[in-house]
Amino acid sequence: MNAPLLATGTTSTTGAMPEIRYNFAYLDEQTKRMIRRAILKAIAIPGYQVPFAAREMPMPYGWGTGGVQVTAAVLGPDDVLKVIDQGADDTTNAVAIRGFFEKTARVATTTVTTQATVIQTRHRIPETALSENQILVYQVPIPEPLRFLEPRETETRQLHALAEYGLMHVKLYEDIARHGHIATTYAYPVEVAGRYVMDPSPIPKFDNPKMDDCPALQLFGAGREKRIYAIPPHTRVRSLDFEDHPFKVQRFAKPCALCAATGVYLDEVILDDRGGRMFVCSDTDYCNTRQAQGHVGELGVPGGGFPQNAVMPGRNSGIHDVPPSHPVQDVDPRVKPGDDGISGGTPPAGMTREGTI
Amino acid sequence: MSVQTLAAGFQDNVLESQSVFRAAMDAMARPGRVVPLVCALAPPAPLNAEAAALVLALCDYETPLWLDARLAAEPAVAEFLRFHTGAAIVAEPMAARFALVAEPLEMPEFSAFAPGTPDYPDASVTLILQVSGFAGAGWALQGPGIKGETRFGAAPLPHDFTARMAANRALFPLGVDLLLAGAGGVVGLPRSVTVREG
């Protein structure tokens, strides 16, 4: 029973597990071709949702399976990848996806917006202006802007075919009737190149103006809903509004508490249980860069600052090289078959390891 | 046909497909710009290396492929493409998702190819036109992907090219998308582009 696992191929140095090798960037070549063809049509018809045969990915729906497939299809060995989740490089989703591509594509990664060539994002557009050498890949949960107004796919498809977007204007009007202003604050619908109305994914409407005339190519992937769409560079993207209720973005009363930036999107951070709070940049790279330049907010620390990204501890910010060896399937030798965690060995005091949940 | 006569495909299928696709994507995203397309393919004449690379990178058993008369007259071309991509070669242009044109001066009307449907405008053809060069700047382009206006030239193209592109633009969001391949580069002309003379 204690004999080592038999491995027919090569074995990894970390144990007797057979080494698992994936194709470059995980997806097989036929899948990539299918996605690439969808991307080309999406670019040719800005804002139109191209159906594609989304695959099951090794992560749950809702965690960026669409964005990951688009990234996998465009990524090359010379690319530098940045992944953000709500603006932050160090949140679970961003760390997991960055690790996924470090292992399966062995691409260099970075947290610095200006160094990246491909940026996969969940629900934010970086504050730093993008350049024409960059591709922004959005993770999209519900690509159909009319879905909550008209549940039938056959019907929404026809509405898009006829460019019949009255429903959406009625929805925005009802906002005004109820609240006195357009109360939609995220996933704010946009009209792309004067034709298709598109869901920009749940980015705050604060970011909508950044999509207009953006020099970078913007690609959108929805894995569960199996749609890809795109905004080519320098394309007119107009947020829907009315003459007497023009589109407006959120404003913040105070600057970022750490870097004193104004005109950026801020996150609220609860400090204690007595109502203490601060507002800091949602874009962690932008905040850190400003702090390194010497900008100090009211709760910031002068000299060196208070970097938000604790991502990849022990590694400097900037481009991280390709991991040296064994790109796929790191096997933790402490994990025993049937175990459900890396904390093999003695359980912490007061906890038992009997049974499974 | 003997195995020896078959020209080689990509040396490294994965990475070369990726770089060719990225060139095609950049070209489609920035209409009129000549995007370098470097490849070591030596396909059977009259198929050129750039067009062959695009087909090998993008086509497979899901994409019926149409060849113009000049390419269809050379059985080695169909054999090469069929072997490396697995794509069905179709005689009916309307059935094709990709169409390869070696002689743009004599190509059929764009209306012979699938423009998509109002519900599914993506169900349309991508035309790959072989050109000998991108010299001159005979046309002015506007549209998504272009900042302001850009100049573009290529030869050979149909004599009524401007009229064809205007008719194609009028169909938007339906229409055909063009990739011009040759002389070490690729140029994209998606249906969203407006082409003007002069």
The predicted structure's pLDDT at residue A317: 57
Q: Are A37 and B58 within 8 A, CB to CB? A: yes
Mean pLDDT, rounded, of chain A: 85
Active site residue A194: no
Query: Which domains are assigned to chain A?
Result: 29-239 (3.40.50), 251-304 (no CATH)
Active site residue A256: yes
> What would the pLDDT profile of A113-140 be if each residue is shown by its tens digit?
999 999 999 999 999 999 999 999 999 9
Active site residue A355: no
Interface of chain A toward chain B, CB-CB under 8 angstroms: 23-24, 29-30, 32-34, 36-46, 48, 50-51, 73-77, 157-158, 161-162, 193, 195-196, 213, 215, 217, 230-236
Checking if the pLDDT of A8 tops 90, the result is no
Q: Which of A87, A221, A223, A281 is catalytic?
A: A281
The predicted structure's pLDDT at residue A334: 45
Amino acid at the residue A160: H
Mean pLDDT, rounded, of chain B: 94
The predicted structure's pLDDT at residue A313: 47
Q: Are A51 and B120 within 8 A, CB to CB? A: yes
For A162, nearest residue in chain B (alpha carbons): B118
Mean predicted confidence (pLDDT) in A138-149: 96
The residue ranking higher by pLDDT, A292 or A310, is A292
Contacts of B149 in chain A (CB under 8 A): none
The predicted structure's pLDDT at residue B137: 74
Contacts of B145 in chain A (CB under 8 A): 43, 232-235
Give the closest of B63, B97, B119 to A161, CB-based: B119
Q: Are B145 and A23 within 8 A, CB to CB? A: no
Q: Is the minimum CB–CB distance between B15 and chain A shorter than 8 Å?
A: yes
Q: Is the minimum CB–CB distance between B124 and chain A shorter than 8 Å?
A: yes
Active site residue A64: no
Task: Label residue A319 by pLDDT band (50, 70, 90).
Answer: low
Whether B61 contacts B84, CB under 8 Å? no
For B177, nearest residue in chain A (alpha carbons): A44
Checking if the pLDDT of A337 tops 70, the result is no
| A35-to-A27, A73, A279 alpha-carbon distances in Å | 10, 7, 39
Contacts of A40 in chain B (CB under 8 A): 24-25, 28, 58, 126, 177
> What would the pLDDT profile of A285-303 be if each residue is shown by its tens digit?
999 999 989 999 988 877 7
The predicted structure's pLDDT at residue A344: 40
- The string of DSSP codes covering A35-92 is HHHHHHHHHHSTT--EE--PPP-SS-TTSSHHHHHHHHHH--TT-EEEEEETTBSSSH
Helix H or strand E encompassing A173: helix A166-179
Q: Say what the alpha-carbon torsion angle B108, B112, B113, B117 is, to the nearest 10 degrees.
A: 150
pTM: 0.89
Active site residue A214: no
Mean predicted confidence (pLDDT) in A219-247: 97
Task: Label residue A327 by pLDDT band (50, 70, 90).
Answer: very low
Query: Which domains are assigned to chain B?
Result: 12-197 (3.40.50.11310)
> What would the pLDDT profile of A14-66 be if each residue is shown by its tens digit?
556 677 788 999 999 999 999 999 999 999 999 999 999 999 999 999 899 99
Task: Label residue A307 by pLDDT band (50, 70, 90).
Answer: confident
Checking if the pLDDT of A250 tops 50, the result is yes
Distance, in Å, from the CA atom of B23 to the CA atom of A333, rounded to the nearest integer, reads 43
Give the closest of B18, B25, B144 to A40, CB-based: B25
Question: Judging by beta carbons within 10 Å of its beta carbon (0-12, 13-18, 19+), is residue A253 exposed, middle or buried?
Answer: exposed
What angle separates helix A92-104 from helix A65-74, to the nearest 10 degrees? 30
The predicted structure's pLDDT at residue A316: 55
Whether A36 contacts A70, CB under 8 Å? no
pLDDT less than 70: residues of chain B: 1-4
> What would the pLDDT profile of B140-157 be if each residue is shown by its tens digit?
999 999 999 999 999 999
Task: Label residue A155 by pLDDT band (50, 70, 90).
Answer: very high
Query: What are the structure tokens assigned to B138, written together?
Result: 């005979």
- ipTM score for this prediction: 0.97
Q: Which of A67, A287, A300, A305 is catalytic?
A: A287
The residue ranking higher by pLDDT, A276 or A190, is A190
The predicted structure's pLDDT at residue B135: 87
Checking if the pLDDT of A224 tops 60, the result is yes
Task: Label residue A330 by pLDDT band (50, 70, 90).
Answer: very low
> Can you say how many angstroms the Cα of residue B150 is from the centroid of all Cα atoms in its chain?
20
The predicted structure's pLDDT at residue B179: 98
Helical spans, DSSP H, in chain B: 13-29, 49-58, 69-72, 75-85, 161-170
Whether A77 contacts B17, CB under 8 Å? no
Checking if the pLDDT of A315 tops 60, the result is no
Q: Which of A256, A297, A300, A305 is catalytic?
A: A256
Give the closest of A23, A157, A232 to B29, CB-based: A232
